[in-house]
A and B are shown apart, each in its own frame.
Chain A
Amino acid sequence: MTPILRFLPAPMLSLILLVTWLLMVRSVTLGQLLLGVILAIGIPLLTRQFWLPFPRVKHPLKLFRFLLCVLGDIVVANLHVSLLILTPKREPHPGFVEYPLQVKDRLAITLLANTITMTPGTVSTNIRLDQTSLLIHVLDMKDEQKLIKEIHERYERPLREIFEC
């Protein structure tokens, strides 16, 4: 382990903490910058024991594209759910689907579960502790296999490519 990594166990987390701090105090003076750097180095060091080892982000560009895609899907999800709410005549067909997980990394699974909840018509309900499947509640289910395939193509594969696991 290089000396720099010893003081920065999670460079991304430190960067995010620094930016968050500067946004919260709304000023970029030298004093605040210094305080932010101290916090950004100190907090990861103090909480290091609680963290699982961070997986390395192999393709930051792909992560960015994935985030944009999810952001777009969130808007679509909102419109979709709003439409379902506003047309009471059209009865939705809810259902449970067990989704087989292929990603193994915990952070990737967390990201996938969060993405599923934020995107059209699905809420992740339960994850098996052996991390093999995710139970999803679907608001308006038409085709189970199609849904599983869609989630796999759209979200799980990019996540696997980003973290390479």
Chain B
Amino acid sequence: MTFNMIAEAAVSLLLVLGGLFAFVGSLGMLQFKDFFMRLHSPTKGTTLGIGCVLIASMIYFSVSQREPHVQELLITLFLFITAPVTGHMLAKTGLHMHLRFITGTRGSLPELMDEDVGQSRVARPLRPKPPGGLKTRREQLLKSRGR
């Protein structure tokens, strides 16, 4: 009886924590100012959230069906493999499309080499200029060349 209660409490706590982390991670999408910063919240903020929910699921089914449930570990494994790769692909695409980043960004973006860019450049959709604060890489380049 008491063991079940402890398990129940642990499961509830993990579920609430997991939900909280996933929510905060999603909130980051709203909070952060540019594309590259927004990449940080789905790759990290939600990993722990999903991890908590999976651990809760493992405990719940192991206790209620009285046999170990470990296949949730597979989900964790796939998540850990796919999340960074997806983040990397998104970031790379962002670089190729010269997405705007916030002006305070430190460090310079190295010029992409020919082999990084590929044969044909990705067409960038035309957009109205933002009211200020954000700059494209191309604008920065033009400015630094004194044009």
Stretch at the interface among B6-14, B23-31, B124-132, B138-146: B23-31
| Interface presence of A8 (CB below 8 A) | no
What's the count of A-B pairs with C-beta under 8 Å?
126
Task: Let me know if A82 and B24 touch, CB within 8 A.
Answer: yes
B-chain residues with CB within 8 Å of residue A11 when the two chains form the complex: none
Task: Let me know if A26 and B71 touch, CB within 8 A.
Answer: yes
B-chain residues with CB within 8 Å of residue A123 when the two chains form the complex: 36, 39-40, 43, 87-88, 91
Shortest distance from the beta carbon of B144 to any chain A beta carbon, whole Å: 16
Q: How far is the CA of A85 from the CA of B71 in the complex (A)?
A: 32
Interface residues of B in 20-61 (CB under 8 A from A): 21, 24-25, 27-28, 31-32, 34, 36-37, 39-41, 43-45, 47-49
Bitwise, A60-94 to B at CB < 8 A (1) or not (0) is 00000000000000110111011011101001111
Shortest distance from the beta carbon of B79 to any chain A beta carbon, whole Å: 10
Q: How many B residues have CB within 8 A of the partner chain?
A: 47
Known: A75-B48, A128-B116. A139 touches B105 (CB 8 A): no
Shortest distance from the beta carbon of A3 to any chain B beta carbon, whole Å: 31
Q: How far is the CA of A47 from the CA of B108 in the complex (A)?
A: 41
Q: How far is the CA of A96 from the CA of B102 in the complex (A)?
A: 12
| Interface presence of A24 (CB below 8 A) | yes
A-chain residues with CB within 8 Å of residue B27 when the two chains form the complex: 85-86
Q: How far is the CA of A27 from the CA of B91 in the complex (A)?
A: 40
| Interface presence of B97 (CB below 8 A) | no
Task: Let me know if A97 and B107 touch, CB within 8 A.
Answer: yes
Shortest distance from the beta carbon of B52 to any chain A beta carbon, whole Å: 10
A–B pairs, 18, beta carbons within 8 Å: A23-B70, A23-B73, A74-B48, A85-B32, A85-B45, A94-B106, A95-B107, A96-B109, A98-B107, A113-B84, A114-B80, A121-B40, A123-B91, A124-B88, A124-B91, A126-B91, A126-B95, A126-B112
Q: A82-B21, A124-B91, A135-B110 are in contact. List 10 more A-B contacts (CB 8 A).
A: A74-B44, A78-B47, A78-B49, A95-B105, A96-B108, A117-B88, A118-B80, A128-B113, A135-B95, A141-B107
Closest 5 CB pairs of A and B: A95-B106, A78-B48, A117-B84, A125-B91, A114-B84
On A, residues with C-beta under 8 Å from B are: 20, 23-24, 26, 74-75, 77-79, 81-82, 84-86, 88, 91-98, 113-114, 117-118, 121, 123-126, 128-129, 135, 137-139, 141, 144
On B, residues with C-beta under 8 Å from A are: 21, 24-25, 27-28, 31-32, 34, 36-37, 39-41, 43-45, 47-49, 70-71, 73-74, 80-81, 83-85, 87-88, 91-92, 94-95, 101-102, 104-110, 112-113, 115-116
